[in-house]
Amino acid sequence: MSVTFVDLLDYAGTFAFAISGIRMASEKKFDLFGAYIVGMATACGGGSMRDIFLGVSPFWMTKWIYLAITGLALVFYVFCHKFISKISSTIFLFDTIGLSLFAVVGFQKTIDAGFDYWVANVMGMCTGALGGVIRDILINEVPLIFRRDIYALACVFGGCVFAFALMMGLPNYLCQTACAISVIMIRMLAVHYHWQLPTLKDE
């Protein structure tokens, strides 16, 4: 099994997503096994939903590495959770890279399956954002992404860039890069400037 640079980014993103699940599970006093499951669901839930929608085997069933990375994240959390707040900017970076990569993978896989660009855009968003929704359902909280931050919307913007680049006739790897960079940029700007969407009721 040869590992490419993109694989490494994927693994870093998986790790960051798993940490986010494990951290929230630990706040709910879940046991080790529960925390592992929530970590796994956060890291692989979005991609699994995408694969189920596309009618293919969930990606984590074909490579054991995702289970192992989640296990690694759990071990890391158990021994270093006091240390985690100090490296929160590194984890945020991993998380953002993960989000951008998940959006790219979701978009590409959907196009390869023969669907339209708009479906690919939705699937990119599902891949990036649904893991967090499943995490919040499992810990019995109102999903965070529905109330705060530009998160899923960064994926949607990246998907639009991907589609535009494809329509301009750019080579595939450039379209993917443009999409990833857009997601990262929007996400960073949103967090830095505290961008928020309006809520429906303000009274």
Q: What does the binding site for a second copy look like in residue numbers (CB under 8 A)? A: 22, 25-35, 37-38, 48, 52-58, 61, 64, 67, 77-78, 81, 115-116, 118-119, 122, 133, 137-143, 145-148, 152-153, 196-201
- The single-letter DSSP state of residue 3 is -
- Cβ 177 to a second copy shortest distance, Å: 25
- Cβ 7 to a second copy shortest distance, Å: 19
CA nearest 161: which of 194, 199, 196, 121?
121
- Cβ 200 to a second copy shortest distance, Å: 3
- Cβ 58 to a second copy shortest distance, Å: 6
User: What tokens does 179 get?
Assistant: 């999409």
CA nearest 180: which of 134, 128, 111?
128
Cβ distance 102 to 24 under 8 Å?
A: no
Q: Which is nearer to a second copy, 169 or 198 (CB)?
A: 198
Q: Which is nearer to a second copy, 5 or 200 (CB)?
A: 200
The dihedral over CA atoms of 40, 45, 51, 57, expressed in degrees to the nearest 10, equals 30
